[in-house]
């Protein structure tokens, strides 16, 4: 039996049909309730293909993160703000309700979706730990292909890596420094962990509390030199200062203030 879960996405965006792919039986056609996909959904991230061919814009994929505290974080969909996600049982079926604070996400999701464990072998029996991809199929178009999302993982550690900003809340309104090694690092120190970086004019540092999903800095101390890149630097440091949580996908790091994206980084290896 194909494992099915229902997702309700409470937003005003439109769902574009992709092609035709017949789901064997819809919920209403089944003689007994379907077996839900038995995954610990809290703390998981689901994205479109991570291939660079998807988009030339950083990071080239979009998706959702289901926060451990019930917050919904939109990954690379800055035009909308997530709110909450909750699991519930409806008519014998598990449902995942996703709500938005504002905006319309760029993934074409709206209404109720069947979520089917995706496999290259349709007859394969899925174990919860083995489910790496899911297919979201609109309930009102059960014969459509829907959207495939892949379970995302972090490939590198936040600590002791060199993070370079690629997107910044409000960044389109300021000039980005040229030929400047703008970066952020989290490093062990005598107190535990510290954060340090460079904003284009001044270096800054401070304490940080880093936990599962949590990224909270103390006051950031920086020099007071002036320069042509101060507008960028002030915005960059302010966005880091208001951050309280993060999501990692592959070699990328996404920072948020509640559910508002603040800065998106790409990991850069040391030479």
Total tally of structural domains belonging to the chain: 2
- Compute φ and ψ for 157, nearest 5 degrees: -90, 145
Per residue in 206-237, pLDDT (tens digit) is 999 999 999 999 999 998 899 999 999 999 99
Radius of gyration of the chain (CA): 21
d(CA 127, CA 152): 18
CA dihedral of residues 55, 56, 57, 63 (deg, nearest 10): 20
Q: What is the pLDDT of residue 110?
A: 58
Burial of 248 (0-12, 13-18, 19+ CB in 10 A): buried
Residue 220 shares a structural domain with residue 95: no
Residue 238 gets the label, from left (phi > 0), alpha (psi -120 to 50) or beta, of alpha
Q: What is the pLDDT of residue 36?
A: 57
| 183-189 and 192-198 strand pairing | antiparallel
Q: Examine the pLDDT at 3 and tell me if it is beyond 80.
A: no
Per residue in 8-40, pLDDT (tens digit) is 544 444 444 433 344 434 444 444 444 557 788
- What mean pLDDT is predicted for residues 90-95? 59
> Residue 87 — pLDDT band, cuts 50, 70, 90?
confident
Enclosing domain of residue 134: 4-151
Structure-token pair, residue 241: 């200062």
Percent of the chain topping pLDDT 70:
73
Residue 17 shares a structural domain with residue 92: yes
The reply to whether 199 falls in a domain is yes
Q: Examine the pLDDT at 125 and tell me if it is beyond 60.
A: no
In the listed set 99, 132, 151, which residue is the last one of a domain according to the structure? Answer: 151
Residue 119 shares a structural domain with residue 231: no
3-state secondary structure 65-96: EECCCCEEEEECCCCEEEEEEEEEEECCEEEE
Choose between 254 and 179: higher pLDDT.
254
- What mean pLDDT is predicted for residues 251-263? 97
Q: Which range, 9-13, 50-54, 146-150, 187-191, has the best average confidence (pLDDT)? A: 187-191
| Cβ pair 71, 37 in contact under 8 A | no
The reply to whether 156 falls in a domain is no
Residue 46 has a CB neighbour count (10 Å cut-off) of 20
CATH number, domain with residue 192:
2.40.128.270
The reply to whether 157 falls in a domain is no
Residue 220 shares a structural domain with residue 90: no
């Amino acid at each position: 039996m194909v494992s099915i879960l229902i997702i309700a996405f409470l937003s005003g965006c439109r769902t574009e049909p992709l092609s035709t792919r017949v789901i064997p039986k819809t919920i209403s056609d089944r003689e007994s309730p379907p077996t839900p996909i038995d995954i610990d959904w809290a703390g998981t991230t689901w994205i479109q293909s991570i291939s660079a061919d998807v988009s030339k814009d950083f990071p080239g994929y979009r998706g959702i993160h289901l926060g451990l505290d019930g917050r919904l974080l939109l990954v690379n969909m800055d035009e909308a703000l997530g709110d909450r996600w909750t699991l519930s049982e409806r008519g014998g079926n598990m449902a995942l309700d996703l709500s938005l604070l504002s905006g319309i996400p760029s993934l074409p999701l709206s209404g109720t979706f069947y979520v089917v464990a995706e496999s290259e072998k349709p007859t394969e029996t899925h174990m919860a730990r083995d489910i790496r991809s899911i297919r979201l199929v609109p309930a009102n178009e059960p014969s459509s292909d829907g959207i495939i999302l892949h379970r995302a993982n972090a490939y590198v550690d936040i600590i002791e890596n060199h993070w370079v900003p690629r997107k910044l809340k409000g960044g389109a309104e300021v000039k980005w420094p040229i030929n400047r090694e703008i970066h952020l690092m989290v490093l062990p120190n005598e107190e535990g962990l510290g954060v340090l970086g460079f904003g284009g004019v001044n270096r800054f540092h401070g304490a940080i509390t880093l936990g599962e999903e949590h990224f909270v800095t103390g006051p950031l101390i920086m020099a007071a030199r002036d320069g042509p890149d101060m507008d960028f630097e002030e915005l960059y440091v302010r966005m880091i200062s208001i951050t309280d949580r993060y999501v990692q996908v592959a070699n990328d790091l996404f920072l948020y203030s509640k559910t508002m994206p603040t800065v998106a980084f790409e990991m850069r290896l040391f030479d």
